[in-house]
Structure 1
Amino acid sequence: MTREEKSKVIDDLTAQLADNSNIYLADISGLDAGTTSNLRRACYKANVSLAVVKNTLLSKAMESSDKDFGNLPEVLKGNTSIMFSETGNGPAKVIKEFRKKAEKPLLKGAFIEEAIFVGDEMLDTLVSIKSKEEVIGDIIGLLQSPAKNVVSALKSGGGKIAGILKTLSEKEG
């Protein structure tokens, strides 16, 4: 690879790092071609982008990025694949599901909306992260609940009030 080609790859990786707020680093070394193809298919179905990258080029892209990757560059050893996703837990779910049939991919680390996770033991934590849309949905559900209770109380209470008023008016008459 020439110096110009390396520079272009670093620029492309830097742009991808800037455009994505959910970045996973995984080790898929040792997977045969068929298994790797199945992993790529699983990623595609989950809207997860998967690419194998050179550690030195990714490290330089991380350095030139505006984001603070903390100690994430330290995990760039051995074979590294990078995964991008719109949802914070998308790649974690793909990895966890895929590991039911294979030993890899292993999670090296992740950058999720400014938070940094390092190590394969963080996989379950990452799977349980809710997406922005899920959190907004939960909040809307919580906000709607008291309003629904008030409306239903007024509806059921309205009949009681009318009944009480009717009874009172009959007594006076």
Structure 2
Amino acid sequence: MDRAQKAESIETLKGVFAGAGAVVVTHNLGLTVAEMEDLRGRLRKEAGTFKVIKNRLALKALEAADGSDYHGLFKGPVGIAYADDAVTAAKVTADFAKGNERFVVLGGFMGDKVLDAKGVETLSKLPSLDQIRASLLGLLNAPATKIAGVVQAPASQLARVFSAYAAKDAA
């Protein structure tokens, strides 16, 4: 990789780190191609991405000072998982790590906040943005449904009374 390619990779990583809700850093030593494709497919379904990156380029993209918390994450064969939603990458990687002992979640970061492995696990247990939106819509929809039921109730009771009188007269 020449200097121009390195500079381009650093700029790409800067864009990834700035645009992602959260970035999960993992060790992926010993994974087969099929397992990597499985992980990438799971992330793709949730609008996420997984990339194997060079540690030095990632640290330059983060503009991490020597001895910063980022240096503890970027050691060995490292891959990053990221998505626009802060919870998505954490959920998918934590789920994948449970089924594969060769895949280890090291930690991650959200903006300038560095998370350890337990922090990523906690993040993975939070509801995703879509789940929060669905619950809010349900909460907003519930009063309207109740109002419609209350407004409709007198009319249905009146219809039952008329039906009972009609049945009585027919008998």
Q: Would you call these one fold, judging by a TM-score over 0.5?
A: yes
2:166 maps to none
Q: Which aligned segments of 4 or more residues in structure 1 are displaced greater than 6 angstroms?
A: 160-163
User: How far apart, CA to CA, are the structure 2 residues paired with 1:36 and 1:135?
Assistant: 29
User: How far apart, CA to CA, are the structure 1 residues paired with 2:143 and 2:86?
Assistant: 30
2:93 maps to 95
2:106 maps to 108
Structure 2 SS opposite 1:99: helix
1:42 maps to 42
1:140 maps to 137
Residue 134 of structure 1: how far off its partner (Å):
2.2
- Tell me the matched-pair count: 157
Q: Are the counterparts in 1 of residues 20 and 85 from structure 2 also a CA contact under 8 Å?
A: no
Q: Are the counterparts in 1 of residues 69 and 114 from structure 2 also a CA contact under 8 Å?
A: no
RMSD, aligned CA: 3.0
User: How far apart, CA to CA, are the structure 2 residues paired with 1:133 and 1:100?
Assistant: 23
Structure 2 SS opposite 1:97: helix
TM-score of the superposed pair, with normalisation by structure 1: 0.71
Q: Are the counterparts in 2 of residues 50 and 81 from structure 1 also a CA contact under 8 Å?
A: yes
User: How far apart, CA to CA, are the structure 2 residues paired with 1:78 and 1:104?
Assistant: 13
Q: Are the counterparts in 1 of residues 47 and 83 from structure 2 also a CA contact under 8 Å?
A: yes
User: How far apart, CA to CA, are the structure 2 residues paired with 1:141 and 1:34?
Assistant: 39
1:63-108 Cα shifts (integer Å, max 9, x gaps): 29xxxxx944542222211112233333233223323431132222
Q: Are the counterparts in 2 of residues 88 and 130 from structure 1 also a CA contact under 8 Å?
A: no
Residue 116 of structure 1: how far off its partner (Å):
3.9
Residue 146 of structure 1: how far off its partner (Å):
2.1
User: What letter is aligned with 2:3?
Assistant: R
Gaps of 5+ in 1: 65-69, 164-173
Residue 13 of structure 1: how far off its partner (Å):
0.9
Give the direction of change, closer, same or farther, for the CA distance of 1:157–1:50 in structure 2 (3 Å limit): same
User: How far apart, CA to CA, are the structure 1 residues paired with 2:6 and 2:142?
Assistant: 55
Give the direction of change, closer, same or farther, for the CA distance of 1:100–1:18 in structure 2 (3 Å limit): closer
Structure 1 SS opposite 2:149: helix
Give the direction of change, closer, same or farther, for the CA distance of 1:145–1:76 in structure 2 (3 Å limit): same
Residue 144 of structure 1: how far off its partner (Å):
1.9
Structure 2 SS opposite 1:60: helix
TM-score of the superposed pair, with normalisation by structure 2: 0.72
Q: Identity percentage over the alignment?
A: 24
1:169 maps to none
Residue 120 of structure 1: how far off its partner (Å):
2.2
After superposition, residues 8-157 of structure 1 pair within 5 angstroms as: 8-63=8-63, 71-112=69-110, 114=111, 116=113, 118-157=115-154
